[in-house]
Amino acid sequence: MINSKKGALFHWIIIAILATLGAFLLMSYNADTGVKIKGEWQADYLNNYYLVGEKELLQNDQLALLVGKETVALLTKQGGVSEGRDCPFYYLREGEQACFQDIQSTVNAAFNELMEKYGGGKYTVAFEKEELIGEAEDSTIINSNRPETKVGQYTVKKHFRVKVGYDFSKFVQLQS
């Protein structure tokens, strides 16, 4: 048998390192590290906030389309002439401007009046060719359906852009 002090020292060091490594692995086998499954928070956020917000925006777009078409029907019923005025046809053709309504403010007022009737919010409405564009005055805050989620809240501005199938510039052409 060879008596080597260096060999015996390395022998016990290696045994101690392996024992320490084994003890560490044994203790940390069932340890809770606090790390959750990747993507759980993101999926929760998408399902409970973003998807709910998008559904509300879709409902708002459909309501805006309905109200926009009713606004067009109301404007065409009036023929571009202010209510309560007696305007003969030849005054309209000779450039008499007093009989015409301001189309931008009329569309805005009529749309908001009809939207209020259906329970929608207040909008600043503009038009571009056959599209009605609405900018919401207030935001909608979406909270989670599930109280156990502690993600927070999601804020949505209910703007819309819908194609109503009528060119509003025809009223502007009437005025010129």
pLDDT tens-place string over residues 79-124 = 655 555 555 544 444 455 456 667 787 888 888 888 888 887 888 8
Residues with Cβ within 8 Å of 111's Cβ and at least 6 positions away in sequence, in order, are 67, 68, 71, 123, 125, 132, 134
pLDDT 10s digits, 50-75: 888 888 889 989 998 998 888 888 87
Angle, CA 50 vertex, CA 144 and CA 127 arms, to 5° = 125
The predicted pLDDT at position 15 comes to: 92
This model's pTM is above 0.85: no
- Position 37 pLDDT exceeds 50: yes
How many other C-beta atoms lie within 10 A of the C-beta of residue 67? 27
pLDDT 10s digits, 13-24: 999 999 999 988
For residue 162, what are the CA distances in angstroms to 25, 156, 166?
Answer: 62, 18, 11
pLDDT 10s digits, 131-169: 888 888 887 777 765 565 555 777 788 888 888 888 877
